Structure 1
Amino acid sequence: MRRLLQWAFGRIPIGWLQLTHKRGRFMAALAGVAFANVLVFVQLGIMNSMATATLRPYEFFQADIMISSADANALSEGANVARQWMLQALADPDVAAGTGLFVGNTPWDREDRDISFTTFGIDPGQAGFLSPAISDDVALLQVQDVAILDRMARGLSREDAAAIRPQTPLSFETQGRTLTALDTFAGGGGFGGDGYMLVSDQTFLSLFPARSSAAPDHILLKLRAGTEVDTVVARLHSLISDETLRIRTYAEAAQEDLRYQQTRRPTGVIFGFGVLIGVLVGLVIVYQVLSADVADHMREYATFKAMGYGPSLFMSIVVEEALVLGVLGFVPGLAVGIGILTLMGKVTTLPLAMTPVMAGIVFLGTVFFSILSGVIATRRLAAADPADLF
């Protein structure tokens, strides 16, 4: 490290020598920077997992346009939509097909642990609206009270999930009925439930007798090949008589759901503040270390200033120290962050993982805020008279 700094700054690494002169303080400073990094990593990891978990159910379906109620900020929220609006949308020559999507939460009371499934009711005759990984099994749902379970759901052991096949079904009680799981698909636990379940629309209505087949939660539309989606969306706004409906492209609906979760739901706001707090903690720690170091070596800085050295030297020394703290503090923070996110991912089945983008952002942020702390810490030196510093 000493030789690298000497090559980078073209002089003796004064900042490195000052930091390592008191090794106890130096190690404590590195631990503080690492702790701030861990805070940011964990909060960013949770925020990323929220984004992945929010967008994941949209990957189960294939559609070009989604029609929802005015208060449907998320896939599992909002009032029902009358099926008659789908019939009006089908009058557009570029709309090839439409289907209703029912959404509800279904509990599975088990002896060891209860599981909550976000349940989707779909028309098994509309396989084109399902992702290729699911569409091959949709024919199984034509039988009443048959389900396809999320094999990655929290509380469902991997052994039990792997054993679910048409030849070895799994039956369980929920909502006063007996469902039979004949196959599985890859989903994963989210913030609103432990996993997902797919059933036919008729099975869904038997689980939720208060619901009506004429009022799904959302309407999905597929367009003819080569059609401009935004153009059809604009036409549907004038074609459908209910002006309160949210008519959006399927991709826009997913992104609006994500923004809602991150900026308007309490969990998203809390995690965002957690990232900010981690940054502030790191900023304060580095500033305190550098400020104390400047105070300890005030006579040396005064000597340099009396010899004619300008503020650029002082700035380079403190920036050197900031870089050392930022870089060396980042390494253990990264290691601990990876370990914590990996452990949390296994326990919660949330998609928690360290990504190269996340690591790069935190590294650059750590270096930037360390340098910012160093700049703030040198303010006293810039305008002071050498005689005042002794």
Structure 2
Amino acid sequence: MLSIALKMLLGDRGKYIGIITGIALASILMIQQPGILISIFARTYSFITDVALPDIWVMDPMVRFIDDSQPMLDTQLYRVRGVKGVEWAVPLYKGNTRVRMSNGQLVTSNMLGLDDATLIGGPAVILEGRLADLRLPDSVIIDEAGARGRLAKPPATPDGRPIPLKVGDMLEINDKRAVVVGIARATATFGSQPIIYTTYTRAKTYAFSERKMLSYILVKIKPDETVPAVAERISRDTGMAARTAREFKRMTLNYVRKNTSILTNFGFVVVIGFIVGAAVTGQIFYNFTLDNLRYFAVFKAMGASDRMLQGMIFVQALLVGFIGFGFGAGITSLVAAITRGGTGLTMTLNWQLLLGSAIAVAVIVLLAALISVRKVMQLEPAVVFK
């Protein structure tokens, strides 16, 4: 009987393709939108992800997220270094700066000042140049997206493309000279602003004059210590907040989620995709069942049980659901692979997202099957003789 159910389904090509198309479109919406949302959320704490070496981030207690750095006095660095259990602690400057292009345009960028001696916090992937070249006079390293995008040199012709920055080019940062000594690959930020790496001392000269310039202190604990114990000592002895990378990420993510409407907007699209998918699939599948009522009546007249007829309908529904979800997930994964590593909108897919979308598709097809089952259960076998 199951083979007959599949022949019934595949025999009506129009409705078969229509059901699969509806499920595929619903799957694309339910996978793509959360995938983009996950990528956007990951960008909010991308810098924390890139700086993976330290165990603890020390900051002002009023900091709410990564870009909300509250400057501290440089003397706090020496206080942290004196805490028991700290193997090393280095300074980090993080702030916004203005870069003047050759055409006079000002571009706001993220500037990171790394410890002069160790350069901890620098980019892990250097495409051109060397990280050690930051110790040269007036040197900076630019992230790849910024070098090809907002910080690219104006085109040579009116209709030409911008010319990417390369090693040896000059920049003007807050009316001061900067020499590009390297191009690095970094995770895109939430605002997609260019990232400029330099030393901590030079960052203080590029930035506007302020009494406090220390944004964060990166701490590595000794091998025989535990992170919670050292973090508690740092907070007690210095009055600063000491958080692990995971805690800092969670704090940043919670701030963005609570203070923006991103989650609501993307969630609304996912709900619409589920409703539209359920409506389209349910309508087409119900019409398919109506067109085949005479066959189900024959099966009833021949003695087929209600459970057998229900099994036939659920097999048909699960088959189109499986195929439709496969097409939708495949198309979305292909788009995610193509856009990966780009500077624009990207998608992050994981097994939890795919599993959740698969469950949603299963709910859609089962609802459609239940509507059709109800019609078949009310069918009288005598209808076949009319």
Q: TM-score range by the shorter chain?
A: 0.7 to 0.9
Equivalent position of 1:11 in the other structure: 2
Shift of 1:256: 3.3
Q: Which amino acid in structure 2 is aligned with residue 38 of structure 1?
A: I
Contact kept in structure 1, 2:50 and 2:187, CA below 8 Å: no
1:74-120 deviations in Å (ceiling 9; x for gaps): 21124334444444333321112223322223344545998653221
Question: Could you report, residue by residue, the CA deviation over 1:290-347 in whole angstroms, capped at 9, with x for unpaired residues?
Answer: 2233333345445545655444223322222222222222343244324543554576
Matched residue type, 2:113? G
Given the alignment, which residue of 357, 362, 377 partners 1:368? 362
1:82 and 1:293, CA in 2 relative to 1: closer, same or farther beyond 3 A? farther
Candidates 205, 222, 225, aligned match of 1:224: 222
Q: Distance in 2 between matches of 1:305 and 1:171?
A: 83
2:116 maps to 124
1:36/1:279 contact within 8 Å kept:
yes
Paired positions, count? 370
Give the whole-Å Cα distance in 1 for the aligned partners of 2:264 and 2:91: 32
User: Residues 354-390 of structure 1, C-alpha deviation per residue, up to 9 Å, x if partnerless?
Assistant: x573785367336523443244324624863738988
Could you tell me the percent identity over the aligned residues? 20
Structure 1 residues 240, 114: CA separation in 2 closer, same or farther (over 3 Å shift)?
Answer: closer
Query: Does residue 150 in structure 1 map to residue 143 in structure 2?
Result: yes
TM-score, normalization by structure 1: 0.78
Per the normalisation by structure 2, the TM-score is 0.79
Structure 1, gaps ≥5 residues long: 1-9
State the 1:17 CA deviation.
Answer: 3.2
Coordinate RMSD, CA, aligned: 3.7
Shift of the alpha carbon at 1:150? 0.9
Q: Distance in 2 between matches of 1:201 and 1:274?
A: 44
CA distance in 2, matches of 1:123, 1:86: 11
Shift of the 139–341 alpha-carbon distance from structure 1 to 2, 3 Å rule, reads closer
**SS of the residue aligned with 1:204?**
helix
Q: 1:19: how far off?
A: 3.2
* Post-superposition CA distance 1:5-50 (Å, at most 9, x none): xxxxx63231x33333432232222222222222233223313422
Once residues 59 and 220 of structure 1 are traced to their aligned partners in structure 2, the CA distance between those partners, rounded to angstroms, is: 13
Q: 1:225 to 1:207 in 2, by over 3 A?
A: same
Encode CA deviations 1:193-222: one digit per residue, 9 max, x unaligned: 24322112233223321433x342222222
Q: 1:278 to 1:175 in 2, by over 3 A?
A: farther
CA 1:200 to 1:236, structure 2 compared with 1: closer, same or farther past 3 Å?
same
Deviations, residues 233-261 of structure 1 (Å, cap 9, x unaligned): 223333233xxx53211232134334544
Residue aligning to 2:327: 332
- In the alignment, structure 1 residue 24 sits paired with structure 2 residue 23: no
| Mapping of residues 252-271 of structure 1, within 5 Å | 252-261=247-256, 264-271=259-266
* Aligned: 1:283 with 2:278: yes
Q: Is the 8 A contact 1:94 1:232 kept in 2?
A: yes
- After the TM superposition, which of the residue ranges 326-335 and 26-35 deviates more from structure 2? 326-335
What corresponds to 1:63 in structure 2?
54
Residue identity matched to 1:290: F
Identify unmatched segments of 5+ residues in structure 2. Answer: 153-161
Q: Is the 8 A contact 2:69 2:94 kept in 1?
A: no
Which whole-Å CA distance do the structure 2 matches of 1:98 and 1:348 have between them? 33
Is residue 327–residue 363 contact of structure 1 (8 Å, CA) maintained in 2? Answer: no
Give, in whole Å, the separation in 1 of the partners of 2:17 and 2:39: 32
Matched residue, 2:159: none
| Superposed CA offset, 1:103-162 (max 9, x none) | 22334454599865322122212335556657x9454334453211112435167x9768
2:34–2:266 Cα contact (<8 Å) kept: yes
d(CA) in 1 for partners of 2:243 and 2:86? 14
Match of 2:28 among 35, 38, 48: 38
